[in-house]
Amino acid sequence: MFDFSAPLKQRFAALQSSAQFFSLRYVRRTSQHLCVRKNVAEPPSLGSDEGAMLTVRLNGVEAYAATNDLSLRGLQAALQQAEAMARRIAPHALLNLSEQTVSSAKGDYLSPHLHEPFPSLADCLGMLMAESHAVPADERLVDWQASLGLENVEQIYLNNAGAEIRQAQRFVYPGMTVTAYDGHDSQTRSLGRDNFGQQGGIEVMTSCGLLDAAVKVADQALQLILAPNTPSGPRDLLLMPDQMVLQIHESIGHPLELDRILGDERNYAGTSFVKPSDFGTLQYGSKLLNVTFDPDIPEQLASYSHDDDGSAASKQFLIRDGLLQRPLGGALSQYRSGLPGVANSRASSWNRAPIDRMANLNIEPGDQSMDSLIGNIEHGILMSTNRSWSIDDARNKFQFGCEWGQLIENGELKGVVKNPNYRAISAHFWKSLSAVGDASTFKVLGTPNCGKGEPNQVIRVGHASPACVFANVDVFGGDA
């Protein structure tokens, strides 16, 4: 760990630059993805990547260049390329960054249990194979797979103001999917997949629930093909944490990214219904809604000590008692807008520049147990595990579908229904939040697949949430 730190520091100290400020961000990444499908191991996917981004600030203009040549000559060439770019774009610069503060922080950050060895590739395949073989023999179960993604990332940030920040992290992504088909309809039930990932070690396999999950997941897939379609009409909606992941992500996270609010994402991922003047004034949701940027939950996917510009990360309320307070904006966006923000300037790799990204974006727990959430619903539906999503460019009008639904009548869970969907408008939906689950319903989840930026950057995002109830939501089934 950090075995390249000493030579990298030596080479950085030897760099020659006429820039007032320059920095280096080194990233080394290794990954593996394993999958057992219908009791057959698929070829493992293995990856390795390493390089550095050099950033300069010259006469108030910032530019950057990346390289995978980590020799002193290679780093010096990238630094000179960044300086040349800064000079070329100076006549067209929209901002003078001469007065923007820079980091001088020092520190190390490690994922939980990082010093403990992870099981070998063969042992991991053995666990997946055992789970695959545990799927019951039923001719209606036509496809299934158990999978495990593993990613190790080491990052070192240095600048000429004295900053030295080292972060080493391990990300674990377990998953299982079972598909049932009865000759007329197919239904898929999954565990983990794209909404469960955590930092840590082999304990993530247990916290995910993957081990010994095959029988339950398969049984739920079979229940779905036998279930009636979800009825249409207004109902109270109980969203489980694994669906709240998407709800938070699309209708709070993206709309609050400050660069998007300032217009930077119009060509690719849209804009936002939120305006700069809304901070401190907009009632985003009901008074039960409390949303935080929280980098301090060790196992969550986007926990870290400093962002990729060297800004120190700390927990901040973005929405408190439903009132919008601050955006998801890193140091540059804060400087541009004059608004407060958070340390969320993040890059997907060494060859991408940091931009405003969601990190850990969480809903704080309330005071209702699961029994209480269900018991207070007269006419409603529980939905779990996202299956489909659609939302407009301003992140306002949306329609989401789930894998699993259960009716709730007179405070009791009733029968399973399939193809559950719901639709609403973000600006109104969060105002319908009528109950928030307590800590016993709270789960730490996330996704490795949030895309944004040009060129595209796919990055890890953490979301933690309790179960939540929304009043009088338009729900519908697959044939509506």
Per-residue pLDDT, averaged over 404-410, amounts to 98
Q: Which residue has the tokens 């040549």?
A: 69
* Span 198-235, pLDDT tens digits: 999 999 988 888 888 999 999 999 999 999 999 999 99
pLDDT of residue 378 exceeding 70: yes
Share of the chain above pLDDT 70, in %: 99
For the chain, the average pLDDT equals: 96
Q: What is the pTM of this model?
A: 0.95
- Is the bond preceding 455 in cis, omega lying within 30 degrees of 0? yes
| Sheet strands (E) in 183-225 | 186-191, 198-199
Per-residue pLDDT, averaged over 166-172, amounts to 97
- Which band of pLDDT confidence, cut at 50, 70 and 90, is reported for residue 427? confident
Q: Output the CA torsion 466→471→476→477 (10° steps).
A: 40
Which CATH number applies to 5-226: 3.30.2290.10, 3.40.50.300, 3.40.190.170, 1.10.10.10? 3.30.2290.10
Per-residue pLDDT, averaged over 95-106, amounts to 95
Residue spans in the chain of domains classed CATH 3.30.2290.10: 5-226
Rounded CA separation 137/142 (Å): 10
* Span 21-36, pLDDT tens digits: 999 999 999 999 999 9
- Which band of pLDDT confidence, cut at 50, 70 and 90, is reported for residue 62? very high
What one-letter code names the amino acid at 383?
A: M
pLDDT at 194: 64
Alpha helices in 134-202 (DSSP H): none
Rounded CA separation 157/5 (Å): 10
Which helix (H) or strand (E) segment is 36 a member of? Answer: strand 21-37
Residues 6+ apart with CB under 8 A from 270: 254, 260, 392, 393, 394, 395
* Span 281-293, pLDDT tens digits: 999 999 999 999 9
Asked if 193 and 58 count as a contact pair (C-beta separation under 8 A), the reply is no
* Span 342-364, pLDDT tens digits: 999 999 999 999 999 999 999 99
Alpha helices in 279-347 (DSSP H): 331-337
Q: How far is CA 387 from the centre of its chain?
A: 17
